[in-house]
Chains A and B, each alone.
Chain A
Amino acid sequence: MREAWGDVMSVFTLTADEREWTLAPRLAELTERHRHACPPYGRILAAIGSHGPYERVADLPWLPVRMFKTHELRSVPKEEVFRVLTSSGTTGQRPSRVHLDRDAAAAQPRMLAATLREVLGERRLPMLIVDTRSVVRATTLSARGAGVLGMMNLGRDHTFVLDDGGEADVASVRAFLARHGDRPFLIFGFTYMVWLHLRELGLDLSHGVLIHSGGWKKLADQAVDAAEFRKRLANQCGLTRIHDFYGMVEQIGTIFLEGPEGDGLYCPDFADVVIRDPETWEEAPPGVPGLIEVVSTLPTSYPGHVLLTEDLGVVHGVDDGVWPGKRFSVLGRLPRAEARGCSDTMGAPRGGFPKACERGDVADGTAAA
């Protein structure tokens, strides 16, 4: 697929119908590949009686994302594993483990870059990082550090906004702006770090393009919505080009990118979302919230091509925005109150939902198939 990675090709071109025709056969093929090459995944599909032909993307069997915490899911032999990525499990939770072979490891940063090229342009921009340098220097890299490192490919003259004590290093940022502040530059940070540290700088960032992700974490009580976030950063730093993105280590390289107007997250051509009603598991129509299923053709070395997340989301519209396809928002985590059932059997503190439990048990080999 190397020729598909052309230098100037946009990855925001497919309408919902075109995307369906393009992705459904490719994802069905990946389902069969992983069914045969990844025995635990094959057992899950057998146990739930899932078999092709799969006509539509929404017909494909999904894997609860938490399965990567409890099972070693890979579709390549151990000796072909090039990198194992781990997520930031919260305390007491096992991290996800994602197995990449050389091809998958090479594809993911390329596709991330191709996606962000849409808003950053062709050239690597000077880059401000709203974090401390130590986050990328740690001997055991945190998920945050890995995220920063992944983004650093897209920038140059990397300048960290925070000193190692976590305080804003205003002098460094001023010097950066003196070098680059009058032309487009890239700012990257986790959402809550941006909110905490960028506004207080009191500097003119009006030529910056802010890419942020990761949500509010421990700052959940201070969270503001996208409109307020954009308004405050515009007022306080002059930032008008702001793009949130949604992505997860279990589908590394695939991000859903907020459009220039802040009217929702858009799917790159090699990915899509299906919002599912958590009671019926049917696809929810636009405007109706449900659980977010993310699909992507990138996971070739592990069965992560169709994942049911534990996040709630809603589709706002289809083929009606600045880029074609669905545009959607993430509303937050599945509330704990709705989590029921399987936390004991799954060995994870956060509960799941019934279907996830059934699948988890089956994959462990502890339930009758």
Chain B
Amino acid sequence: MGHLDRLRGVFRAALSLPDGADVDALEYRAIPQWDSLAHMALVAAIEDEFDIMLETDEIIDMSSFAQAARLLEKHGAGAAF
């Protein structure tokens, strides 16, 4: 599975979205499930899944699925997986 598919899976699980839900256009706070608390769970899940550690500013900046995908690439996930 490519890293983007794994990221989609992490988003669905951490935000309690149904299997197969389209998450690519998701933005922070645009849906009730992605609130501040879920954001923490999402960060922890991404860090576990890809074995990376995000910085505080990256967590604050991670305001969409697209930005999360960019962060993964920045941390080498795009190349390594």
Interface residues in chain A, defined as those with a beta carbon under 8 Å from any beta carbon in chain B: 5, 7, 82-83, 106, 109-110, 113, 117, 122-124, 136-137, 141, 146, 149-150, 152-154, 156, 158
- Chain B nearest CB, measured from A179 CB (Å): 14
- Chain A nearest CB, measured from B31 CB (Å): 15
Determine which of A7, A106, A136, A156 lies in contact with B60 in the assembled complex, contact meaning CB atoms within 8 Å.
Answer: A106
Determine which of B40, B44, B56, B63 lies in contact with A113 in the assembled complex, contact meaning CB atoms within 8 Å.
Answer: B56
Verify if B26 is at the interface (C-beta below 8 Å from A).
no
- Chain A nearest CB, measured from B29 CB (Å): 8
Do B56 and A154 touch (CB < 8 A)? yes
- Residue on A nearest B55 in the bound complex, by CB: A124
Do B57 and A113 touch (CB < 8 A)? yes
Task: Determine the interface band of chain B, counting residues with CB < 8 A from chain A.
Answer: 10 to 19
Verify if B13 is at the interface (C-beta below 8 Å from A).
no
Do B40 and A110 touch (CB < 8 A)? no
- Chain A nearest CB, measured from B44 CB (Å): 7
Do A7 and B57 touch (CB < 8 A)? yes
- Chain B nearest CB, measured from A69 CB (Å): 24
Interface residues in chain B, defined as those with a beta carbon under 8 Å from any beta carbon in chain A: 29, 36-37, 40, 44, 47, 53-57, 59-61, 63
Do A158 and B55 touch (CB < 8 A)? no
Which residues of B sit under 8 angstroms from A117, Cβ to Cβ? 56
Do A149 and B47 touch (CB < 8 A)? no
Do B47 and A110 touch (CB < 8 A)? no
Knowing A137-B37, A158-B40, say if A123 contacts B57 (CB, 8 Å).
no
Do B53 and A110 touch (CB < 8 A)? no
CB-defined A-B contacts under 8 Å, sample of 13: A106-B61, A109-B60, A110-B60, A117-B56, A122-B55, A124-B53, A149-B36, A149-B37, A149-B40, A152-B40, A153-B59, A156-B44, A156-B47
Shortest Cβ-Cβ A-B pairs, 4 listed = A113-B56, A149-B36, A109-B60, A152-B40
Do A110 and B57 touch (CB < 8 A)? yes
Which residues of B sit under 8 angstroms from A153, Cβ to Cβ? 40, 56, 59-60
A sample of 8 more A-B contacts (CB under 8 A), given A7-B57, A106-B61, A113-B57, is A113-B56, A123-B55, A124-B55, A136-B36, A146-B36, A150-B36, A154-B56, A156-B53
Which residues of B sit under 8 angstroms from A136, Cβ to Cβ? 36-37
- Chain A nearest CB, measured from B14 CB (Å): 14
Most buried by A among B29, B54, B59: B59
Which residues of B sit under 8 angstroms from A122, Cβ to Cβ? 55
- Chain A nearest CB, measured from B16 CB (Å): 13
- Cα(A123)–Cα(B55), bound, Å: 6
- Chain B nearest CB, measured from A14 CB (Å): 22
Which residues of A sit under 8 angstroms from B63, Cβ to Cβ? 106
- Chain A nearest CB, measured from B17 CB (Å): 19
- Cα(A7)–Cα(B61), bound, Å: 13
- Residue on B nearest A137 in the bound complex, by CB: B37
Most buried by B among A83, A149, A150: A149
- Cα(A309)–Cα(B56), bound, Å: 30
Which residues of A sit under 8 angstroms from B56, Cβ to Cβ? 113, 117, 124, 153-154
- Chain A nearest CB, measured from B3 CB (Å): 21
- Cα(A136)–Cα(B36), bound, Å: 9
- Chain B nearest CB, measured from A9 CB (Å): 12
- Cα(A149)–Cα(B40), bound, Å: 9
- Chain B nearest CB, measured from A214 CB (Å): 18
- Chain A nearest CB, measured from B56 CB (Å): 5
Which residues of B sit under 8 angstroms from A123, Cβ to Cβ? 53, 55
Which residues of A sit under 8 angstroms from B40, Cβ to Cβ? 149, 152-153, 158
- Cα(A5)–Cα(B57), bound, Å: 9
Which residues of A sit under 8 angstroms from B44, Cβ to Cβ? 156
